Amino acid sequence: MIETGGNGRTWLLSGAAGSYALHLTDRDELVHLHWGPRISLADAESLAAEPPPPYWPFESQLDGREEYPVEGGPRFVRPALSVRTPEVRGTEWRHDGSTAVDDELRLRFTDPVHHLGLTLHYRMREDADVVERWATVAHEGPAGAPALELLRADAAAWTLPRRERWRLSQLHGRWAAESRLVRSALTPGEKILGSRRGHTGHQHLPWVALDAEGATEESGEVYGCALGWSGSWRIAVQQLPDGTVQITGGAGHDESGLLRLAPGGTYTTPVFAGLWSEGGFGGASRAWHAWQLAHVVPGATASGPSSTTPGRRPASTSPRNSSACSHGGPPTSAWSCSSWTTPGSAPGPVTAPGSATGRRTRTAFPAD
């Protein structure tokens, strides 16, 4: 469910038990308001009316608050978007409207210097608490305009609520020893996870979870993020000087350049999904899997094919692989611990953003 308030500049997405809220300031700054238990539109509007944090020397009042930080202006956090032409590097956008179609919110921005069009997509289904986010970048300049070089275009930036401390969960490993869970205290600075291998890799999986109060298997708040992509990828978890935690993630591992967009070209990121759960790691795991079965894996509720079906194989149910499924997230490169994968098969509704110039679909590499 999507609700709009604040003269059309505050949005509230609500699912089964949670809500996600964001607000566009008078200066066209898209700031985060809330991610967690369900709230009302009036609550979101009250949050939007609160003043920004106080000024602190050598820091920006935007840092850790923006929904999609870009390179340029008074910002010091890791940007989600970095673009350049032969003349200009950086982005200064203007809001250019919003639309709500069914359960998807689309916020459009433009940069007239770059002829850049940016659409931020949000989707939260009524039967789940997973927020699906992705972005579409377009070169809207005239024919003959300089190509637009996308150095970095992450799918989303997630902002967590203020807590005294956070604990980070991640999955790592190697061939024949995948999905090893490790948890550690999050400290100031950045934690970078990713793959430069052209595929998801055995070494790290594109999923993280954070809990603040020593969540157990069945109790406590857990925030999780999972990137639906099977190529090279990167997730950055930042704890800023004021304690704010922000998570960015997307295709590609560094800022060496994703692709060059000619006039008329577009790029759509993979989906970076986020989940809030108050049921501990077990509750988060069950919520992820329910969402996958309902909205990601085509025909998941139907009887599965036999293991002899040509071109298909059931995912392993050995303890080594299945144990990771109980730690709060979808640990495989194709989102699901218990599905069948077919090279080149339709990825399902979660990839509704579609394909784009220069983009490789995440089903190009089947799950391990």
Per-residue DSSP letters for 144-204? Answer: TPPPEEEEEE-SEEEEPPP-S--EEEEEEEETTEEEEEEEEE--SEEEEEEE-SSS--SSE
Locate 145 and state its tokens. Answer: 């305009």
User: How would you list the strands of the sheet with 10-14, edge to edge?
Assistant: 2-5, 10-14, 18-24, 30-37
| pTM metric for this prediction | 0.83
What's the gap between Cα 244 and its chain centre? Answer: 17
Phi/psi of residue 326, each to 5°?
Answer: -95, 10
Which pLDDT value is given to residue 307? 37
- The enclosing H or E element of 19 equals strand 18-24
C-alpha to C-alpha distance for 117 and 115, rounded to whole angstroms: 7
Lowest mean pLDDT among 151-160, 173-182, 222-231, 271-280: 173-182
Strand partners, 120: 107, 135
Q: Which pLDDT tens digit goes with each residue over 314-363?
A: 333 232 333 334 456 664 433 433 332 222 222 233 333 333 333 333 33
pLDDT at res. 21: 97
Res 40: pLDDT: 96
Helix (H, G, I), strand (E, B) or coil at 350: helix
CA 12 to chain centre: 17
What are the pLDDT digits (tens) for 276-295? 999 999 999 999 999 999 99
- Nearest CA-CA partner of 129 in 221, 10, 5: 221
Task: Kindly report, residue by residue over 77-110, the tens digit of the pLDDT.
Answer: 888 888 888 777 878 888 999 999 889 999 999 9
| 235 and 194 Cβ atoms separated by less than 8 Å | yes
Contact 108, 96 (CB under 8 A): yes
Q: Which residues partner with 94 through β-bridges?
A: 110
Q: What is the pLDDT of residue 304?
A: 53
